[in-house]
Amino acid sequence: MLNVFTLANGRLFQEEIESLEELARFKPIWVDLEDPTPEERRWVKQHFGLSIPEDAMDEDIEESARFFEEDNGELHVRSDFLIDDDEDPRAVRVAFILNEHNDTLKSQGVLFSIHDEDVPVFRLLRMRARRMPGLIEDAKDVLLMLFDADAEYCADTLEDIYDEIETVSKQVLNSNASDNLLSDALSAIARHEDMSGRIRRNVMDTRRAVSFMMRSRLLSAEQFEDARQILRDLDSLDSHTAFLFDKINFLMDATVGFININQNKIIKIFSVASVSLLPPTLVASSYGMNFDFMPELKWQYGYPLALVLMVLSAVVPMLYFRKRGWLR
């Protein structure tokens, strides 16, 4: 899918392109290619003179090659954007290409973004740019606002994680929590820990991208200040993720501890039951011996007496254990 975005009366308008002729009709500031076909890549090359690298969205690209400037003035930025999906949380690699110097190409002043799937942050920016006139003035604003929206998306995700952790915390700290409930809580805590780690990695990646833009000296004074504000927001997210990690680790330890306590209760009951049955076993073993001289064997009430003795030898220890509170 190939979408172009133009500015009109301070608002961002989107057009879906289905041919090279349609592409030539617009003067966009942003061209977004979602899972582009070879034909769409060819349209971009023919009209804008821009060759999209084949490895633009590769996950295993060298870190040092994710932020660089070509000799022809093209600025290349590869950054990850978070997708908060309950079943499959992940980060999507997006490649940005921006030409601000080479006025011999139609790509000057146009931001190109290439990615494999739709990104929630992109939808958020499109919605805001349509409703808020003057939010975006050029291609550099688009890129900065994408990073700003990414920081806000991460912040919203962290708030959701915190709310869910609060719910899990009430379940874990409940004195009547069962093993099944604690097991579910442990799974939820593990998911939140994984998501918090993804957010921290995404924040680090966004910080590097914004810092690279500030070093590139392409930003105006106002845009430079906006970039500094984005970095301050990212720094605040770092401290918040550190707090969440501490809380998650505490809940993880507490949950495992309560599971161990419940298991110890079961083991204690089996241990007490085993000890209480030792005296009856001793009585039965004694009267199971094959000695010739055992007076009780020929006694009329010997068998009932042995049964009563075994029952008493089992009941008395159980009463003693219960009085001491060992069966609770």
pLDDT digits (tens, 9 = 90+) for 274-310: 777 777 776 777 666 665 666 766 677 777 777 777 7
Q: What is the predicted pLDDT for the residue at 229?
A: 93
Query: Region 188-212: what's the mean pLDDT?
Result: 88
Tell me the pLDDT tens digit for each residue of 232-287. 999 888 888 888 888 888 888 888 777 777 777 777 777 777 777 777 776 777 66
Tell me the pLDDT tens digit for each residue of 100-144. 766 667 777 888 988 888 888 888 888 888 788 777 888 888 889
Spatial neighbors of 248 by CB under 8 A, at least 6 apart, are: 165, 189, 192, 193, 196
Query: Region 174-180: what's the mean pLDDT?
Result: 70
Q: Look-up: residue for tokens 């939820």?
A: 188
Q: Across-strand partners of 34?
A: 115
Determine how β-strand 11-17 pairs with β-strand 111-115. Answer: unpaired
Confidence band for 231, pLDDT divided at 50, 70 and 90: very high
In this predicted structure, the answer to whether residue 226 has a pLDDT above a threshold of 60 is yes
Strand, helix or coil for residue 248: helix
Query: Region 48-75: what's the mean pLDDT?
Result: 69
Tell me the pLDDT tens digit for each residue of 305-318. 777 777 887 777 77
Give the whole-angstrom CA distance, residue 41 versus residue 19.
11
Q: What is the predicted pLDDT for the residue at 147?
A: 92
Amino acid at 122: F
Query: Cβ distance 192 to 109 under 8 Å?
Result: no
Tell me the pLDDT tens digit for each residue of 2-36. 888 888 877 888 888 888 888 888 888 888 888 88
Q: What is the predicted pLDDT for the residue at 225?
A: 92
Q: What is the predicted pLDDT for the residue at 64?
A: 57
Query: Region 212-229: what's the mean pLDDT?
Result: 87
In Å, how far are 6, 83, 223, 254, 265 from 182, measured between CA atoms? 53, 28, 49, 10, 15
Give the whole-angstrom CA distance, residue 166 versus residue 178.
18
Q: What is the predicted pLDDT for the residue at 290?
A: 60
Among 61-70, 200-209, 262-271, which stretch is predicted with the lowest mean pLDDT?
61-70
Spatial strand order of the sheet with 74-83 comes to 11-17, 2-8, 30-34, 111-115, 90-99, 74-83, 67-69
Strand, helix or coil for residue 80: strand
Q: What is the predicted pLDDT for the residue at 53?
A: 74
